[in-house]
């Protein structure tokens, strides 16, 4: 049995490269054999990529998140385009809209989002979607502009009704440790309407720690806890669920199983 963490902010877990490698070692001990490292800014991407580009378990995503909308940096579009050509960079993200934090203004966020969807289409890369209180706009935009390589709603936070609508698009739904929280009824209901072959799991580390590890800083090594909870919800064998999630993740990121 092996696990795939589709979303980890390794650069935020620890700044020290040695500590980052310890986090990856701990993940391997927990049978988390692949991790997608998500950048928080283009500078963060360059630093983490340089440190971990030769680490077999790590793949990378690059993009400009909504939090960077007011200061994406000079020539950010060209930097993203070039970075997508680097070895082991498998997706553009995380990108999207965040109306909760109110970064910049809605128009600026939407322009940034659409521009990166266009870059992803040209690069033939899937996108990792950040959505916070912006579901309608994101769904409307994706309905017209989703890249042919598809998208994943990371750390899914909408309800089952939204998921039913989104299923018409070539998208996956990724669940983090908050799936294990008792009060996450919207997520539990969503699991009930999704086919297993459209589900991914992630740590979203260092955030969203599973209930089993509450009080600790989240790490990729805790992903099996979320998978166990999902298997219990589905009343399925954990190994069977883990195997399907692995296949889903490899398919989305276009990696060999």
Would the CA dihedral through 116, 162, 254, 146 be positive or negative?
negative
d(CA 166, CA 139): 7
Please give the chain's pLDDT, 257 residues, in tens: 999 999 999 988 867 777 888 999 999 999 999 999 998 889 889 989 998 999 999 999 999 999 999 999 889 999 999 999 999 999 999 999 999 988 999 999 999 999 999 999 999 999 999 999 999 999 999 999 999 999 999 999 999 999 999 999 999 999 999 999 999 999 999 999 999 999 999 999 999 999 999 999 999 999 999 999 999 999 999 999 999 999 999 999 999 99
Distance of CA 125 to the CA centre of its chain: 14
For residue 171, the cross-strand partners are 151
Reported as type and span, the H/E element at residue 59 is: strand 58-62
- Region label for 170, one of left (φ > 0), alpha (ψ between -120 and 50) or beta (otherwise): beta
Q: Which residues contact 75 (CB under 8 A, 6 or more apart)?
A: none
């Amino acid at each position: 049995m092996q696990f795939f963490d589709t979303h980890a902010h390794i650069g935020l877990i620890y700044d020290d490269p040695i500590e980052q490698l310890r986090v990856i070692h701990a993940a391997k001990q927990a049978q988390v054999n692949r991790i997608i490292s998500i950048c928080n800014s283009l500078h963060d991407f360059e630093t983490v990529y340089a440190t971990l580009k030769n680490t077999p378990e790590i793949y990378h995503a690059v993009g400009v998140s909504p939090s960077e909308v007011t200061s994406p940096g000079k020539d950010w579009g060209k930097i993203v385009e070039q970075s997508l050509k680097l070895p082991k960079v498998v997706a553009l993200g995380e990108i999207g809209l965040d109306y909760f934090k109110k970064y910049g203004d809605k128009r600026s966020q939407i322009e940034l989002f659409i521009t990166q969807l266009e870059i992803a289409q040209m690069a033939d890369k899937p996108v990792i979607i950040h959505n916070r209180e912006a579901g309608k706009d994101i769904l409307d935009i994706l309905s017209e502009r989703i890249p042919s390589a598809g998208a994943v709603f990371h750390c899914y936070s909408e309800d089952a009704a939204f998921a039913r609508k989104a299923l018409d698009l070539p998208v996956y739904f990724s669940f983090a440790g908050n799936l294990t929280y008792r009060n996450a009824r919207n997520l539990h209901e969503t699991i009930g309407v999704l086919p297993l072959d459209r589900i991914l799991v992630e740590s979203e580390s260092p955030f969203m720690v599973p209930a089993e590890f509450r009080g600790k800083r989240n790490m990729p090594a805790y992903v099996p806890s979320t998978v166990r909870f999902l298997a219990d919800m589905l009343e399925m064998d954990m190994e069977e669920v883990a195997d399907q999630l692995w296949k889903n993740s490899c398919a989305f990121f276009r990696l060999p199983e």
